[in-house]
Chains A and B, each alone.
Chain A
Amino acid sequence: AQKVTQAQTEISVVEKEDVTLDCVYETRDTTYYLFWYKQPPSGELVFLIRRNSFDEQNEISGRYSWNFQKSTSSFNFTITASQVVDSAVYFCALSETPGTSGSRLTFGEGTQLTVNP
């Protein structure tokens, strides 16, 4: 069975600090996808990134960067120079290769990030 663990329930930082959100996953599949979603107070899950299990290259998008390490089954997310608007719950998720289950996602329990001014 697939499992995603986000050990950090809550993180609080001061604006402009860098912060890393941890994600560890378990799967028996050799091909899978990893995701990060942001859920602001409004409730809508906002897609941030999708990464294929064959692509271990780290990715940077503006202030966001992701570190995928297959050897440790981790897919960590770093926000550089955090801003108050980054305050939200962040979810890591895992899906097997789309097939009969579509793109069914298994989510972690989320990390509540609070960025204080």
Chain B
Amino acid sequence: DTGVSQDPRHKITKRGQNVTFRCDPISEHNRLYWYRQTLGQGPEFLTYFQNEAQLEKSRLLSDRFSAERPKGSFSTLEIQRTEQGDSAMYLCASSLLTGELFFGEGSRLTVL
């Protein structure tokens, strides 16, 4: 499978716990994006990397959220001290410099 892969697909956690999601982009894609999607809504932009550099962060990305792409390949998105409002689908996408975004199947987070 050469598409964007995300892990885990589902995560259930208790409020206050930390969670981490991983995204493996399409190998030749140098741009990587994180989006968040809540039920019945369209995806909302969170952050974007070009290679290992994080070039933009949305205001949606509070201090409890951190994303990394240490070697310009896979990326992680960590949420610290989770809150019930963090429950959502977290989508990763990758692209070439000027191409369309290819999305993974998402990581669904449920905070109890």
Contact = CB atoms under 8 A, between A and B. Distances in A.
A102 B42 contact: no
A102 B50 contact: yes
Interface stretch (A13-21, A40-48, A61-69): A40-48
A115 B111 CA distance: 33
B100 A106 contact: no
Interface residues of B, number: 28
From A35, A37, A45, A93, residue with most partner B Cβ within 10 Å: A45
Interface string A1-23: 00010000000000000000000
A43 B106 contact: yes
Contacts, number: 65
A101 interface: yes
A104 interface: yes
Given A44-B106, A45-B43, A109-B42, A102 B100 contact: no
A100 B97 CA distance: 11
B45 A104 contact: yes
B41 A102 contact: no
Which of A4, A93, A105: most chain B Cβ within 10 A?
A: A105
A50 B102 CA distance: 12
Nearest to B105: A44
Contacts of A43: 89, 105-106, 108
A100 B89 contact: no
B91 A45 contact: yes
Interface of A: 4, 35, 37, 42-47, 50, 91, 93, 98, 100-110
10 contacts: A93-B42, A101-B55, A102-B55, A102-B95, A103-B33, A104-B33, A105-B43, A106-B45, A107-B44, A108-B42
Given A102-B56, A109-B40, 14 more contacts: A43-B105, A43-B106, A44-B104, A45-B93, A47-B102, A91-B42, A93-B42, A102-B31, A103-B99, A105-B35, A106-B45, A108-B42, A109-B41, A110-B42
